[in-house]
Amino acid sequence: ARIKHKLIVMSGKGGVGKSSVAVYLALGLARHGYRVGLMDVDLHGPSVPKMLGLSGMLGITKEEEILPHSYGPNL
């Protein structure tokens, strides 16, 4: 699947609300009918899965592709 638009929420400082902004932006876009993918790339302390109530390890295919978790329609 081709990704048409990409948005990045980032800052050089911790604790400023990057994950909150990313989650609320993703939820808002999904509610408006956009298909949204959300990835938390904080390797040391990802908070997006916790904010969405997701748990467990992601699955990996034989081709070493990540199997995404579904949170709801379009997200």
Distance CA 69, CA 56 (A): 10
- pLDDT digits 0-9 by tens, 33-58: 999 999 998 888 889 989 999 887 67
- pLDDT digits 0-9 by tens, 15-28: 999 999 999 999 99
pLDDT at 5: 93
Helix H segments across the chain? Answer: 18-31, 48-51
Q: What is the mean pLDDT of residues 58-74?
A: 85
Q: Which range marks the domain in which residue 43 is found?
A: 1-75
Residue closest to 72 by CA, chosen among 44, 48, 36: 36
In the chain, how many domains are there?
Answer: 1
Give the percent of the chain with pLDDT over 90. Answer: 48
Distance CA 55, CA 30 (A): 21
Q: How far is CA 57 from the centre of its chain?
A: 14
The dihedral sign for the CA sequence 70, 48, 26, 10: negative
